[in-house]
Amino acid sequence: MDAIPSARPVLEAPDIARVLTRIAHEIVERAKGADDVVLLGIPTRGVFLARRLAAKLESITGSSIPVGSLDITMYRDDLRLRPARALARTEIPGEGIDGRLVILVDDVLFSGRTIRAALDAMNDLGRPRAVQLAVLVDRGHRELPIRADYVGKNLPTSLRETVKVHLTEEDGRDSVLLGAGTTTPADAQ
């Protein structure tokens, strides 16, 4: 786990569970059910959040919700600025995404560049009826005209602060930490 100097928790495990339940109810309300919903998580933590949302949607609707992952590595606009990184997996549910309501799921929305890359990646996979965005934390500082449809917590931050999401599946615990750091939008897309 990455430590953040003088980090303070802004969400703990019960808060994250409550936020995901609220987002699932908002999805059902806005989509008038969830019959044509497909969740695509952006690796790494967005995939875990998408799976959790799918389970909550299933408990609300009684229907299984297709969930997959969308690797955006080759669509990023900072490939030449950062060291090489391993490709993650793209897994599209068997039903595909054509004509469906695709909800992209990510942990933190910051500059908007990750979501732009996800939209580009999705264009190579099919043509959804509509695309929405669900994020656990929206920290502001957008560089592109992108906003989330479903937000767990709006967390106004300075550019010097860092937001670190810990999820049990990857980090052994659930929490969102806010700390002092030197992150810039180009560093944390």
| Cβ-based neighbours of 131, under 8 Å, separated by 6 or more | 101, 102, 103, 104, 119, 122
Answer yes or no: is pLDDT of 54 > 60.
yes
Rounded to an integer, the average pLDDT of 117-133 is 96
Answer yes or no: is pLDDT of 182 > 70.
no
pLDDT value of residue 137: 98
pLDDT value of residue 181: 72
Measured between alpha carbons, how far is 153 from 146 in angstroms, rounded to an integer? Answer: 16
Residue 117 belongs to what H/E stretch? Answer: helix 113-123
Domains of the chain listed by start with CATH number: 13-77+88-157 (3.40.50.2020)
pLDDT value of residue 83: 65
11-44 residue pLDDT tens: 999 999 999 999 999 999 999 999 999 999 999 9
Please say whether the beta carbons of 68 and 92 come within 8 A.
yes
High-pLDDT (> 90) share of the chain, %? 83
| Res. 188 pLDDT band, cuts 50 70 90 | very low
pTM above 0.85, yes or no: yes
**Of residues 74 and 57, which shows the higher confidence score?**
57
| Res. 185 pLDDT band, cuts 50 70 90 | very low
**Of residues 184 and 113, which shows the higher confidence score?**
113
Answer yes or no: is pLDDT of 189 > 70.
no
126-177 residue pLDDT tens: 999 999 999 999 999 999 999 999 999 999 999 999 999 999 999 999 999 9
Question: For the purposes of burial, counting CB atoms within 10 Å of the CB of 74, is it exposed (0-12), middle (13-18) or buried (19 or more)?
Answer: exposed
**Of residues 81 and 157, which shows the higher confidence score?**
157
The DSSP-derived string for 54-74 is HHHHHHHHSS---EEE---GG
